[in-house]
Structure 1
Amino acid sequence: MLNTVASFSSLYFATLLLLLSTGLFNTYMGLRLSAANVSELWIGALIAVYYLGLVLGARNAHKLILQVGHIRAYVASAAIVTTMVLAQALTANLWLWLLFRFVVGVSMVAQFMVIESWLNEQTENAARGRVFAFYMVFSGLGTVLGQLSLTLFPRLNHEPLIFAAICSVLCLVPVALTRRLHPAVPVPAPIMVRYYLARVPMSLLVVFITGNLTGAFYGLAPVFAVKQGLSSDQVAWFLAAAVAAGLLAQWPLGMLSDRVNRSGLIRFNAVLLALVGIPLWGWWVLPFWALIVVSCAFGALQFPLYPIGTAFANDNVEPDRRVGLSAIVIMAYGLGAGLGPFIAGALMRFIDTDMFFIFVSGSAVILVLFIRPQQVTGEYLSEDAPTHFVPMSELQASPVVAVLDPRTDPQTDVSGEPVPQEG
């Protein structure tokens, strides 16, 4: 295990710094704009365009890497991300901020693709599970540390922006100085929307709703926390508690999902998620410790939904078409993460800030209504179902990560080939 970490330490460290910068910036942006009385709709939009950039930039990132190589593509993308972060310190024009955040999303997906290509190329099939798991751990750890690093800055001035830019620049060093050979770039699998919608509609709904919740959380949970009277330091702990609890809860829930009906587990999880937000509907003013408890419960229920939903999808798709499945899962998640902040932001702007957790409960109720175990016929059940649960970070931006998933086998995958017609 230690040898696995050591062999890819430079790539893991680059991932840690990259997510540290992003985690800090997203929280800082929500706090700063909230302090300036900027509409929640604008804050949600800024997070939404970032996620849309991640989704829409994958194809262009693939072309860029093919044209100039991995290191040059990574260096250029990191430079653009750093420039966009610093540019937000030079202007208060929110229309420009929308452009900056979209460009950051488009550029960051190239960085993820470079790191994931290296991990995939130089990992044997037997070790892909461990390499993937450590990549997810470092991704999540970077996000948590990014949020907690906000406690280093007592004022919401330009200092957190500078620190985020420093981390963005430092993530260049491990990749630029690596001695590893350039890997090949996996060709993105075609997204056969109709095929996968017919096979795994419930799973894709779970992933889409989870994307809505995640995008809204990173953009608007800081705004909600500020309206509860929390200081900047307390907001950082409020967010970090949710993410950390979500990461830790994946292992016990994952083991449970391998032993019980996954659709039933998702529905039960959604029921609890709908209930856990009720104390924050605006009926009571909770002390800080109670807010942390609710935040942990929220994170433990919400963040595992994505990997459980993905495992549910893998149960019902042939093993040789799972790379394509991962591509459409990422697309559904990204589209949800782009839509969720808009909806939650509009509710908070035009009704009340407490609508954030009402939005959470409402999203969970949608899962309760549409995820029905009795409707899972088993018609498309794969030969290796139930597939093993694989812990996953809340951010899955690059289609290259699909071939790192131990449930896929890139050497035998036929996702790029036409689907045989039945009958």
Structure 2
Amino acid sequence: MRQIWKNFRALYFASLMMLIGSGLLSTYLALRLSAEQVDSLWVGALMAANYFGLALGGKIGHRLIARVGHIRAYATCAGIVGAAVLGHGLVNYLPAWLFLRVIVGLGMMCQYMVIESWLNEQADSKQRGAVFSGYMIASYLGLVLGQLILVVHPQLGLELLMLVALCFALCLVPVALTRRIHPAPMHPAPMEPRFFISRVPQSLSTVLGSGLIVGSFYGLAPLYASAQGLSTEQVGLFMGSCIFAGLLVQWPLGWLSDRYDRALLIRCVAVGIAIAALPLALIPAVPLEVLFAAGFLVSLLQFSLYPLAVAFSNDHVEADRRVSLTAMLLVTYGVGACIGPLVAGVLMKQFGSQMLYAFFSFFAVVLVWRIRPKAVTNLHVVDDAPLHHVAMPAANSPLAAALDPRVDEHMVQEQMQNTEPAEEEPVKAG
């Protein structure tokens, strides 16, 4: 593992800087709007705009990379993101902030695509699992450190925006200085929505629910914590501990996922979220100890949904379709992450900040109803199922499938260049 960190430290450092900046920006904007008494609908809309930009970047990024190359595309997007971040300090018009958040999301997705395609190009087939894990650690660590900056610098001035822009400037350095050749261009994987809706409906439901919950968490949890009377430093600690829970849970989750029925695990996790979120949903003023403990537990569970759904769906999809599957899962997650903050923001505006965790509990109950282990037919389960569970990065692009060790690397290029949809099969599985 030490050799992998040494070989990929430049790309991991770039990811770390990007996620420090991204994590700090989301929390800073939520707290600043809260301090200015702006209602939660706008906070939710800003996070939805960011996820919309990420989805848009998935469509645009490969064209930009193909036109100008990886390094130029990455440098261009880092510069644009840095300028958009500083734009939040120059303009106080909220509709303009929505546009800037779209630009930040779009640019960051292009950067993800460059980093992930580069990691895939340089990773030996036997190292892909370890490289993927290192990328996940760098991503989660960046998000945690972004929150902890608020503990050191709690003032919500323009200095924090400058620090975010500084992170996006520094993430440019290791990529710009690389002496390696450009990775081979990769095309977006063809999606087959009707096929996957028929083949893995329960996995798609889980991913959609994960997007609704996690997207709302990143955008609105700082607002909820602030409404509970927490100072800026305490909000930073609360968010940092919750995101750290997402990193901490990945290894025990993998052990459980490889040994027990994954549909049953998803249902148990959903039950856990519904129960753990109830104290925060029902009590208007939560004691600090309960707030941190319940928030940590809910986060342990909510960050488990997406990796479990990915593992569950891969068990029921042939190897030559797993690149397309990953693209479909990411799009489904993005749809949920766009809708969730908007709906939760409206609920918080109308009924109070505790509606954020009531929203989590409600959709967890929906997942309990939707995920039915006995309905899994196993007609299309692959021969080597259950496939080894893989810890998932906190953020990734449609090209992340190329890094996933469950995907046959010899099929990646062929599948990503194939644009003809396959025949749909109406048999339900996972």
- Give the corresponding residue for 2:411: 412
Counterpart of 1:280, as a letter, is L
Rounded Cα–Cα distance in structure 1 between residues aligned with 2:37 and 2:205: 34
Q: Summarize the alignment of residues 147-158 of structure 1 with structure 2, pairs less than 5 Å apart.
A: 147-158=147-158
**Preserved CA contact (<8 Å) 1:314 1:322:** yes
Moved more, 310-319 or 407-416: 407-416
Rounded Cα–Cα distance in structure 1 between residues aligned with 2:424 and 2:101: 42
Q: Deviations over 1:298-342 (max 9, x none)?
A: 111110111011000101101111000000011011111111000
Alignment of 1:325 onto 2:325: yes
Q: Deviations over 1:84-103 (max 9, x none)?
A: 00010011100000000001
**Preserved CA contact (<8 Å) 1:47 1:219:** yes
**Preserved CA contact (<8 Å) 2:190 2:421:** no
- Give the corresponding residue for 2:128: 128
**Preserved CA contact (<8 Å) 1:277 1:294:** yes
Deviation at 1:80, TM superposition (A): 0.4
Moved more, 283-292 or 160-169: 283-292
Deviation at 1:181, TM superposition (A): 1.1
**Preserved CA contact (<8 Å) 2:283 2:354:** no
Q: Deviations over 1:147-178 (max 9, x none)?
A: 11111213111111111111111101011001
Q: Summarize the alignment of residues 257-336 of structure 1 with structure 2, pairs less than 5 Å apart.
A: 257-283=257-283, 285-336=285-336
Rounded Cα–Cα distance in structure 2 between residues aligned with 1:212 and 1:254: 23
Rounded Cα–Cα distance in structure 1 between residues aligned with 2:389 and 2:424: 30
Rounded Cα–Cα distance in structure 2 between residues aligned with 1:400 and 1:352: 39
**Preserved CA contact (<8 Å) 1:14 1:172:** yes
Unaligned stretches of 5+ residues in structure 1: none
Counterpart of 1:419, as a letter, is A
Deviation at 1:52, TM superposition (A): 1.0
Deviation at 1:60, TM superposition (A): 1.2
**Preserved CA contact (<8 Å) 1:23 1:142:** yes
Alignment of 1:100 onto 2:103: no
Deviation at 1:286, TM superposition (A): 2.8
Deviation at 1:285, TM superposition (A): 3.0
Unaligned stretches of 5+ residues in structure 2: none
Deviation at 1:422, TM superposition (A): 6.7
Q: Summarize the alignment of residues 24-423 of structure 1 with structure 2, pairs less than 5 Å apart.
A: 24-283=24-283, 285-396=285-396, 398-413=397-412, 415=415, 416=418, 417-420=420-423
Deviation at 1:247, TM superposition (A): 1.1
Rounded Cα–Cα distance in structure 2 between residues aligned with 1:412 and 1:309: 22
Identity across the alignment (%): 49
Rounded Cα–Cα distance in structure 2 between residues aligned with 1:395 and 1:131: 15
Counterpart of 1:408, as a letter, is V
Query: SS state of the match for residue 8, structure 1?
Result: helix
Counterpart of 1:153, as a letter, is H
Q: Deviations over 1:269-310 (max 9, x none)?
A: 100100001111242633222211111101111101110110
**Preserved CA contact (<8 Å) 1:24 1:149:** yes
Rounded Cα–Cα distance in structure 1 between residues aligned with 2:171 and 2:425: 49
Deviation at 1:400, TM superposition (A): 1.0
Query: SS state of the match for residue 88, structure 1?
Result: helix
Q: TM-score, normalised by structure 1?
A: 0.97
Q: TM-score, normalised by structure 2?
A: 0.96
**Preserved CA contact (<8 Å) 2:125 2:409:** no
- Structure 1: 4+ residue segments shifted above 4 A: 420-423
**Preserved CA contact (<8 Å) 2:195 2:425:** no
**Preserved CA contact (<8 Å) 2:53 2:106:** yes
Counterpart of 2:422, as a letter, is V
Indicate how the Cα distance of structure 1 residues 210 and 346 shifts in structure 2: closer, same or farther if over 3 A, else same.
same
**Preserved CA contact (<8 Å) 2:199 2:425:** no
